[in-house]
Homo-oligomer: A and B are copies of this chain.
Amino acid sequence: MEKRIRLKISYDGTAYHGWQIQDGTVTVEGVLTDAVSEAVGKPVEVIGASRTDAGVHALGNVAVFDADTPIPADKMAMVLNKLLPDDISIVCSDEVPSDWHPRKQDCRKTYEYRIYTAPVRMPLKRLYAHYTYSDLDIGEMDRAASFFTGEHDFTAFCAAGSQATSFTRTIYACSVKKDGNEAVIRVTGSGFLYNMVRIIAGTLFEVGLGRKKADDIPGIIDSLDRRKAGPTLPACGLTLIGYEYGDRPF
């Protein structure tokens, strides 16, 4: 009997051309699909929740697959961890109904973006945070972040090339906190447009540098103009923290 198995996946995106399988590149989905197919003994298709970009990290991306396997759903994590490379691991696994789809459930999705400040770049931070030598006004960044909460049309925070049909998204929480010499931007929403978190981070970065003010944010959102928002910050600073599924928590 086929069952649908769900995986919570953590990975270091540094070595991967993002999540989604593409010919001729090494992707997280590709490596995971190979491991799952080996574990269950035949080719399997994996359905992912978030198609993270090249270089983006995850603590809790989600995927499901269907397989007729004697391996209990909750032991699948352990089996896959023996087959996966060091930079991908399965945090946990469980069984879900056969029609449960990771992109078609109500959920809250949380990302973190890290920016570190130091007089010179720091080798031990370079893979997981964006570097600046400038001091950031973290209080002003946090005040700016609060303006993103609520339901808005985020056209100004969406990269060209998006295939979205609606640009309205709901942000449940957005804050900026200090963690040592890092500014940690944390944003939770119903979903995000293409590059939206990295553009929000770039806009908050400009607030931190004093190039924009917190009070400019509502006007930037209302403009629906990508050019009014800040730059898209590099992928390395971004980590998908995870999904909260109301119907079926991990």
A contacts, CB < 8 Å to B:
10-12, 57, 59, 77, 81, 86-92, 119-124, 126-128, 239
Contacts and interface: CB of A to CB of B under 8 A. Distances in A.
A121 B121 CA distance: 28
A210 B122 CA distance: 36
A124 B59 contact: yes
B57 A120 contact: no
Nearest to A86: B126
Quick one: copies of this chain in the complex? 2
Mostly, the A contact residues are mixed
Given A12-B123, A92-B120, 14 more contacts: A10-B120, A10-B124, A12-B124, A12-B126, A59-B124, A81-B120, A81-B121, A86-B126, A87-B126, A88-B123, A89-B120, A89-B121, A90-B120, A91-B119
A121 B88 CA distance: 9
A160 to B, nearest CB: 28
Contacts of A57: 123-124
Contacts of A77: 120
A182 to B, nearest CB: 14
A239 B125 CA distance: 13
A239 B124 contact: yes
A57 to B, nearest CB: 6
Nearest to A87: B123
Contacts of A119: 91-92
Contacts of A126: 12, 86-87
Most buried by B among A81, A121, A128, A239: A121
